[in-house]
Amino acid sequence: MKLNEKIYYYRKRAKLSQEELAAQVGVSRQAVSKWELGDATPELDKLAALAKAFRVTADELLSEGEPEADGEKREERQTQEFSYQKERGRAAWGFLERMAHRYGWLAGVYVALSGLGTALVGILARFAFSRMFAMTVNDVMGELGGMLSDGWEVTVPSGWDGMFPGEIGGMTAGITRVGEVFVAIATAILVAGVIVTVAGVVLAVYLYNSGRKKD
């Protein structure tokens, strides 16, 4: 199907008049009429506006395939993705329900302990990364000084004596930035663990009180 035919088809499918489509795209009604008759071709920015108005992608609008097939594939893909996410949510909630039904308030304790373990991993990772990447110019120069005092011979090429500390500084600054990224990841793990721990405690209290009311 040609582009002009697709513009006509998608406009009809969207139940838009030429005037309404022209207003959304930002052109005159005559321009839309010329596009549909094949007397003119929309520019790239207008193609993007058309795709947005039709709720399709620009690739679908420009493809040579039939629009019905394109739309069906897109809707089928969206349905499958939604179903997958829905099933995952049901599985997670179903797991908690089974835990609560079987173990009562201890299910909340289990969730809290899981969160506590995650938080502990975050704490240890944050400490390890902080120590691992805590390298400064003074540290490196101190190591070099120790090597010299132990009898090592370190030869600096002529003309490099002014650049050498600067090069080390750039290297250590890069290592520090990498370390900050790892520390941020560890901090995120720690925060997630704390949130799960609090949620587990709240769940345990709720299930405990619900069990007492039933009794």
Q: Are residues 35 and 120 in the same domain?
A: no
Please give the mean pLDDT across all residues of the chain. Answer: 76
Identify the band that residue 137 occupies on the pLDDT scale cut at 50, 70 and 90. Answer: very low
| Domain encompassing residue 184 | 104-214
Identify the band that residue 180 occupies on the pLDDT scale cut at 50, 70 and 90. Answer: confident
Give percent of the chain with pLDDT exceeding 70: 63
For residue 93, being part of any structural domain is answered with no
The number of distinct structural domains making up the chain is 2
Look-up of token digits 């799960």: 196
Q: Are residues 53 and 108 in the same domain?
A: no
CA distances from 185 to 15, 27, 127, 156 (A): 49, 49, 12, 38
Q: Are residues 210 and 128 in the same domain?
A: yes
For residue 192, being part of any structural domain is answered with yes
Q: Are residues 136 and 202 in the same domain?
A: yes
Q: Are residues 114 and 201 in the same domain?
A: yes
Q: Which of 175, 179, 191 is nearest to 121 (CA)?
A: 191
Q: Are residues 108 and 196 in the same domain?
A: yes
DSSP 154: -
For residue 208, being part of any structural domain is answered with yes
Residue 18: both structure tokens together? 């030429």
Task: Please say if the pLDDT value at position 191 is more than 90.
Answer: yes
Look at 94 and 20; give whichever has higher pLDDT: 20
* Contact between residue 62 and residue 47 where contact means Cβ atoms under 8 Å apart: yes
Give percent of the chain with pLDDT exceeding 90: 19
For residue 59, being part of any structural domain is answered with yes
Task: Please say if the pLDDT value at position 65 is more than 80.
Answer: no
- CATH number of the domain where residue 39 is located: 1.10.260.40
Q: Are residues 165 and 117 in the same domain?
A: yes
Identify the band that residue 163 occupies on the pLDDT scale cut at 50, 70 and 90. Answer: very low
* pLDDT score for 44: 86
Task: Please say if the pLDDT value at position 93 is more than 80.
Answer: no
Q: Are residues 112 and 199 in the same domain?
A: yes
Identify the band that residue 189 occupies on the pLDDT scale cut at 50, 70 and 90. Answer: very high
For residues 113-125, one letter each, b for 16 or more C-beta atoms within 10 angstroms of the residue's C-beta and e for the rest, the string is: eebbebbeebeeb
Q: Which uninterrupted H or E stretch holds 31?
A: helix 29-37
For residue 94, being part of any structural domain is answered with no
